[in-house]
Chain A
Amino acid sequence: MLHHIIIVLVFAGTPFCQTAAAHSNRDTSLHKTISISIQSLVQSVAGDSVSCIIPFSRAGNLILLRAKADTTDGNFVLDTGAPGLVLNITYFRDYPTTVADDEQLGITGTVADVSKTRVNEFKLGCIKSEAVSADLINLGHLENVKGVRIFGLIGLAVFNQCELIIDYENNLLYVHKIGKKETASYRHAMLKDTSAYNSIPIEIWNHKILAVTYINGKKLKLIIDSGAETNMLDSRLPGVVFENVEIIKRISLNGAGNKKVEALYGNLSNLTIGNQPAGILPVVITNLEKTCFGVNSCIDGVLGFDFLGLHKIGFNFVNNQMYIWK
């Protein structure tokens, strides 16, 4: 029998608590849970596995998690659409770059600073990673839009070997690092009642979560992305897909450098994900040509907060399953 150690870290009075309290004034049961979790972050360790519940705040519909990269701690966006750790270069200016600041001509014609660095230690709740490779990117514009300081993005690589459950309703993230001996057997207690959720296989493709969905029998591969507020569909998909979309309006998408691109906003019906109907989903229709990596490797679309926020949702990156609560 595994020996469980429960550690209760009391954060009352720390800046973390103040921030969470000041910003976590939200509806219904949410407050109740937040107030419990901001007072204590429960961390349990068993063998080489580790579990914790991390309360989060939000910037719009993006998840903000408190994390620490070496000595710098602050808000990071949970972005399952990013391959790994991304640091806002403004706050990590003096980090040595492992690749020189080569000026890559981006697709927009603008010069993008692409540099990589290494963080000696990255801590998110109970998850501690060492020698983490990170991209350095300017996230100043995102800060300006959201009005909060953002130190970086936490992408998929940080959750290697993990099970992740996002509870948007209660603003809690459940993280469990799956131990070597429990790879086949581990399930969070919330997953015991198998009738409460659907289990859908996922594929990790180019460091992104890919799930197979269907619209009227047409198969679509969609990226599951907590760093996207909207859902997206490629405008080049077959007509049968758009027969299920009611166009609401024409919109302009904000790109970097004040560049605007025309797109359409509508309501998508008849999407099923693992036999579970997704209901009516707001969706942005745009040309996703630039997401193609090469031959046959374009994505069909993205499921962002407008889908994820409807359910409690979990991912097991060891057995590559996604859990969507009904």
Chain B
Amino acid sequence: MEMRRRNIISLKCLTALFCLLLSITLHAQPPVKSYTVKDGKMYIALGKDLPKNALDSFVNKYELTDLDLEHFLQNGIADSLTQLGWTVDINNAQLYVISKPLFSTDNLIDPAEKIFITQDPSSDIIAPTNQAHFGYNHFKNKSPFAVKDSVVTFYLRSHTNAHNVRLAGNFSNWEKSALPMRKTDSGWVTKVKLNKGKYLYKFIIDGNWTIDHDNANTENDGMGNDNSVYYYTNYNFNLNGYTNTKKVFLAGSFNGWRNDELAMIRTATGWTIPVYLSEGTHTYRFVADGKWLADPDNKDQLPNEFNDFNSVIRIGKPFVFKLPGFKDAKKIALFGSFNNWKENELFMTKNATGWELAYTLGPGNYEYKLIVDGRKIGDSINDANLSLVIQPNFTFRLKGYANAKTVCLGGDMNNWNPGSFKMKREGDEWIFKAHLNKGKHIYKFIVDGKWILDPGNKLWEQNEFGTNNSVLWMEED
């Protein structure tokens, strides 16, 4: 029966192709461009007189960049299309029709595979985290919430006909301790004492939950629901003067140096923008009408790759990198995951016993190397990256293996770098203290070069390469 079905399908394919050709030929004005599916195949029909801009918009719309249709239309050579599995079905004076069968997906009978295959292709929802590194408020139609002595006044504009309005957020355990709002002439207000950071909230207006429509910052909670996002900012960037400038933007390591994202607000004497920045060292510059400049009022600077300087702000406690000895060295640089591996930014200074550099870092696991007079130096044994953990919150332990020479930790927390997280021998076990974010972590131990599962953890899973990794969940930060 299945065989018969296939034969019928083949016949249908031929008929479909004939019909397609007929319809396209009959309706060849204006230039043809179509993407259709029939009897298990995708068909693309393109008029040979299709203008470039129409082809570009067609390619963009259907996400067909890899087919290089422009090249094909220009010279008619179908080699690359054929390699991708496409067949040229029609090539006449007016048009090309190409087709490709849709191959079957993995075994949909397996429930796990079915769930992967049927994930919503239009959205990649990733479970959000409240560990913000950077953020700023973006209110419309109303001023940012007033802040005084750590007390933030949340404000809902209008809705003055409502009978009861409450504010709920992650600061109130949502509905459990939702805060009643007080009616004013223009809306509703309530005061909340908060620490600096990122907060999620919603209003409950006569029992109905709603986001703050005057706040452009919203975030999906990974479960199909949106919340408004408020940042209790902890730093004001200010640029004095430049009053004749039309636009000033802030750009820095915290926003990937995008120079058109963070528009500064004009004040009587210059420009300002309040932001929330996490603990750590951040570099930045201003962009005034397209011209980049360091902050003229900030003396703290670090060199950049353009033989110029970036301004620096440091939030939190500095960590002092210390390197004893190396008395004859002339220049020692430090570079690592914390500064995006920039080799010409952080230079150590010489002191009585060696070299040192104070650098502010937030909680996390970091890797780095040194450059001593042009020579890169890592771990003394295997030249791997050196490691540094700020505010460790989890200890990995491996009992036994007393005769092992080196034991390392490899996992998502160090991008599976086999030598960077060396474990220390303490008593009858090897230990490594790491900083782990909330959520799932997978890892292994590496004993004298051999990868092993954590024998003390009964949770493990197979990865896509068919090998096994130990699994642990951090429930809280």
Contacts and interface: CB of A to CB of B under 8 A. Distances in A.
Contacts of B464: 141, 256-258
B116 A142 contact: yes
B224 A23 contact: no
Given A31-B174, A108-B107, A140 B461 contact: yes
Contacts of A100: none
A59 B156 CA distance: 30
B341 interface: no
B210 A138 contact: no
B276 to A, nearest CB: 20
B51 interface: no
Contacts of B127: 59, 146-148
Given A147-B127, A230-B120, A254-B117, A249 B61 contact: yes
A108 B106 contact: yes
Interface in B424-461: 439-440, 442, 458-461
Contacts of A21: 173-176
Instruction: Provide the main secondary structure of the chain A interface.
Output: mixed
Given A255-B105, A256-B106, A82 B118 contact: no
B209 interface: yes
B120 A290 contact: no
A257 B62 CA distance: 26
Given A26-B223, A140-B471, A250 B64 contact: yes
Contacts, number: 252
A285 B37 CA distance: 9
| Residue among B42, B112, B174 facing the most chain A CB atoms (10 A cut-off) | B112
A200 to B, nearest CB: 22
Contacts of B227: 25
Contacts of B39: 236, 238-239
Interface string A105-149: 011101111000000000000000000000101111111111111
A230 B459 contact: no
A149 B115 contact: no
Nearest to B85: A262
Contacts of B176: 21, 35
Given A253-B105, A290-B107, A29 B208 contact: yes
Nearest to A64: B223
A28 B473 contact: no
Contacts of A259: 106
B200 A256 contact: no
B2 A295 contact: yes
A61 interface: yes
B58 to A, nearest CB: 11
Interface stretch (B96-104, B253-261, B285-293, B313-321): B96-104
B120 A229 contact: yes
B62 A79 contact: no
A318 B95 CA distance: 57
Interface residues of A, number: 98
Contact of B210 (A27, A94, A139): A27
Contact of A141 (B112, B168, B204, B221): B112
A157 B170 CA distance: 38
Contact of B38 (A60, A142, A239): A239
A32 B209 contact: yes
Contacts of A245: 37
A288 B125 contact: no
B119 interface: yes
A229 B118 contact: yes
B392 interface: no
Contacts of A289: 104
A62 interface: yes
Contacts of A227: 111, 114-115, 118
Contact of B115 (A25, A28, A62): A62
B225 interface: yes
Instruction: Count chain B CB atoms within 10 A of each CB in A58, A232, A290, A296 and give the residue with the most.
Output: A290
17 contacts: A21-B175, A27-B202, A29-B208, A31-B168, A35-B175, A93-B458, A93-B460, A137-B110, A137-B112, A140-B471, A228-B118, A235-B37, A254-B117, A261-B105, A263-B105, A265-B122, A282-B122
Interface of B: 1-2, 9, 12, 16, 35-42, 61-64, 100-123, 125-127, 168, 170, 173-176, 200, 202, 204, 207-211, 221-227, 439-440, 442, 458-464, 466, 471, 473
